[in-house]
């Protein structure tokens, strides 16, 4: 797997947008059971899985950049 380096001076607007994404807002306050229910109900195709995966990657990027700046 190729190593990805995230720069600490990444675009703040993109980080804030990722953090404020409605799905991320819902998932970051959900219980594990609620997350399971959300995934089982809303992620039934590869395209939907890619959307959720993208949101989670952007959110994690936000967390990492926030902790390093």
List the chain domain ranges.
Answer: 12-68
Is 66:10 a contact under the CB 8 Å cutoff? no
5: pLDDT confidence band, cut at 50, 70 and 90? Answer: low
CA distance 11 to 18: 11
7-64 residue pLDDT tens? 555 567 766 776 777 877 787 788 989 989 988 998 999 999 998 888 888 878 877 8
| Burial track 52-67 (b if 16+ CB lie within 10 A, e otherwise) | beebeebbebbeebee
């Amino acid at each position: 797997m190729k190593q990805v380096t995230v720069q600490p001076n990444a675009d703040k607007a993109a980080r804030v947008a990722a953090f404020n994404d409605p799905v991320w807002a819902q998932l970051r306050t959900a219980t594990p059971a609620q997350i399971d229910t959300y995934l089982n109900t809303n992620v039934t195709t590869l395209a939907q899985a890619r959307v959720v995966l993208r949101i989670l990657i952007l959110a994690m990027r936000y967390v990492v950049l926030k902790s390093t700046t």
